[in-house]
Structure 1
Amino acid sequence: MKELPILVLLYSAVLLSSAAPVLEPVTCSEDSRAAMARLAMFHINEHHDHGYKFKLNEIQGNKVEKADNGCNVELLLDLLETKCHVVNPQHFEDCELRRVDEREVMANCTVMMTVKNSDAKVTKYDCDTRQVKTNMEMMMICPDCPTLISLDSPEGIKSVNEGVKKFNQNTTNQRYYILQEVGRISSAYMMATGMSYFAEFALVETHCPMGSRIIPEACKPLCPDRAHHAVCSSSYSSTDGLQSVECEFYPPSNSTTLGPGEQGPGECRHRGRPSHAGGHGHHRHTHGHGHRPNASSHEHHQHAGGHGHHRNTSSHGRHPDASGRGPPPHAGGRGPPPHDAGQRQDRKVGPPFNSYHRLKPFLSCHGFRTNFDPALHPICPWPHSETNPDPKLSQS
């Protein structure tokens, strides 16, 4: 008999710093290079509303042209993707970078800014986001490491849906959660279990109370600043199914009580991701005892971190409301998966995940057609185009 995944809850009392970082003044002098780059990084992460936060790796160059009462600046920056999803309130400068065996992602960015009367602002940026190592290079360095695959890979999405279904069997949650975004999916062949899939995905709390008869995928998300969010990692094998799910929770950025006549859940006055400039508490939640490959071995037992943990273990069967028929990946999918996730294709991408339009085609980067790796979330050009290539997408 197939053993059901074990549910283990780990609650952590770790708090993230609530102090807002202070930006240094930006001037037109050569000594202001670092301050210019830091301002650019704040701006990029503030407008990067899908995938993962980035942090500065290196300043490749800068050009300053004098102008009336100031200057115009062009910065060439190398960035590295962190492990912090954009719903994670942790400040990007404190986020951990990925290791080589975790498939590092980089972005080369050209950033334009103006400095006038001691007031600096970013006016434009454009980035090329890609994996640091190609699949061929990784095969030479680490043949056992998993390979990043397309974010709409059918088997990968199946593993995500199973993870969401198992997550919603957690009776300690007050409400059901739905898939907000798939962050990344990797795969590797393992002798004992065949093809294995390792996914990272973000969930958002809905208005549906836990135990209600409505199926979770029909539930509406709470307003972004009022909703709990979770970022999960799962492991899944083609022969044994879901192996484990480990999640980290983030509380709402706005915990104030709604006053008389104010908008209630699901009636968001302003759509968009929560502001996480400050810090919030978080806790971890783990399902199962799966294995994830690393650079040295095909199989590696997962252990959840954190401090001040409380453990509670139980097993679960199939939940009557957790059908696993979640919303289409990335709000509708992004076309057929390529044979090699390392190959870059001309693909249409669009509204960020924070709009929560789960049944609309996923068009990241606001409708731009860009060449990018379908296994990644690219940094979109800014300012964004206001032109919508498909008028049907503007209908709710």
Structure 2
Amino acid sequence: MKHYMLLSLLLALWCVPGAPVAHGGMKEGSCEDALAMAAAGLALSEINLDRTEGFVFALHHLSNVHTAQHGENGMVFYLTLDVVETICSVHSKKDWKACEIRDTTSTPVYGQCKAAIYISKVHRVVRLYKYNCIVRPVPAFRVHATCPDCPSLIGKDDPKIQETVSLSLEKFNREGGLSNRFTLLQVSRASAGWFNWWYYNVEYTIQETTCLSTAGAADPCPLLGCGFSHKGFCKGSLFSTPSGSTDTSVDCEIYEPECAEREKKGRVRSLPATGQMVILRCRMSRLRTDLRVTLSLKEDPQIPGQVEPSILPFPKVVSANCSPAAAGETLVGKVFSEDPMFKKWWAIWTC
């Protein structure tokens, strides 16, 4: 339904004045244009649906737009999206507009995505062709400057985090009221803080197994088939005291089984916070894949009598009608505007 509403907006706004031609038939677009903003919203929704781990991204700012016409009614948009992380798991399939953006108290994560998306206004087709995202957390010292008592991100393989996962998942299986046992899929986020004594927070995904919930943690429990196996997203905490006692809490959302497989269109890479050493290794095979021209050699699967669009190399220039987001008053906005990684915007698509 949301796609149809945005497509209706695209129908109303499609006839816009021509912009300067950049290269290869591309035209520069305006980041303030309602048509480009609608395309950016659709692109981000498709990126979130394509992802299988992590948290839903929300749009922070549209910082570059180019377009290429395909046929009489289609358009390929080449977009650079500044994004921020929300608290929704990608397994929830929630639209990014319905998700709460992660605030300073839980260390915000920000980054940038480049996306090539084809939209046909007449045939109501929205097709994401490729994307590439890089994200990183706000530095801990910046968070603690405004929130000294807030927890800090720590390694997901920390022994205390592993203990928190184990104890909280066991608590869920024991007290959750579901018939089958769930097992860990992946740890998504881990943090630790101090309030009278140490506490640990962990967010992780789980999946349903063939075992009953009364089964022991050491019992072999194969996963249920995709048509029957529920997945879930859990938030667990472990509170320790000087005496050595612990208290565990857990809260999980369970999602309906899903079997549909999607061809992966891109990837998301997580970098350390600014100030830490970052090494980006670029393999030439990957580089060629990201930059190659995708030719329209096959029929469009959704539009009879039409071939798919050619996806050109991503533009190496910023549209004259686009500008970086203002720093604003929020911590993530200030850090975003200062981060040299996202000023060198061409690098994150090619590396």
TM-score, normalization by structure 1 = 0.55
Query: Does structure 2 conserve the Cα–Cα contact (< 8 Å) formed by 1:201 and 1:231?
Result: yes
Conserved in 2, the CA contact under 8 Å of 1:201 and 1:233? yes
8 Å CA contact 1:149, 1:340 repeated in 2: no
Kindly provide the amino acid, as one letter, of the partner of residue 148 in structure 1. Answer: L
Determine the C-alpha separation between the residues in 2 that align with 1:28 and 1:346.
44
- How far did residue 102 of structure 1 move? 1.4
Give the alignment of 1:311-390 within 5 angstroms: 343=276, 345-346=278-279
The residue aligned with 1:233 is 235
Aligned to 2:98: 94
Q: Does 1:38 align with 2:20?
A: no
Instruction: Note if 1:248 corresponds to 2:230.
Output: no
SS at match of 1:167: helix
1:158 correspondence with 2:163: yes
Q: 1:116 to 1:83 in 2, by over 3 A?
A: closer
Computed over aligned residues only, the root mean square deviation of the Cα atoms, in angstroms, reads: 3.5
Q: Work out whether residues 180 and 201 of structure 1, in 8 Å CA contact, stay in contact via their aligned partners in 2.
A: yes
Q: 1:82 to 1:76 in 2, by over 3 A?
A: same
Partner Cα separation in structure 1 for residue 229 and residue 95 of structure 2:
19
- Tell me if structure 1 keeps the 8 A contact 2:167–2:248: no
- Equivalent residue number for residue 172 of structure 1: 177
- Going from structure 1 to structure 2, the CA distance change for 1:187 and 1:113 (only over 3 Å counts) comes to same
Match of 1:211 in 2: 214
**Within 2, Cα distance between the matches of 1:66 and 1:272?**
30
The CA deviation string for residues 40-94 of structure 1, in whole angstroms up to 9 with x for no partner, is 0121011111011112122122122456545442211111211111222433321
Residues 307-332 of structure 1, C-alpha deviations (whole Å, 9 max, x = no match): xxxxxxxxxxxxxxxxxxxxxxxxxx
Q: How far is 1:143 from its partner?
A: 1.7
- Max Rg structure: 2
Tell me by how many angstroms 1:252 deviates: 2.2
Q: Among residues 128, 132, 142, which one is paired with 1:122 in the alignment?
A: 128
The offset of 1:125, in angstroms, is 1.4
Using the aligned pairs only, state the percent identity: 24
Gaps of 5+ in 2: 17-32, 263-270, 282-289, 291-348
Report the Cα offset of residue 140 of structure 1.
Answer: 1.7
How many residue pairs get aligned? The number is 250
Task: After TM superposition, give the deviation of residue 198 of structure 1 in Å.
Answer: 1.0
Distance 1:117 1:33, change over 3 A: closer
State the Cα distance separating 1:229 from its structure 2 match. Answer: 3.1
CA apart distance, 1:211: 2.6
1:104 maps to 2:86: no
For 1:82, give the aligned amino acid.
T
Structure possessing the higher relative contact order (Cα contacts under 8 Å, 6 or more residues apart): 1
2:194 to 170, 183, 189: 189
* Map of 1:24 onto structure 2: 6
C-alpha spacing 1:198/1:113, structure 2 compared with 1 (3 Å): same
The question of 1:223 aligning with 2:225 is answered yes
TM-score, with structure 2 as normaliser: 0.61
Question: Aligned partner of 2:252: which letter?
Answer: E
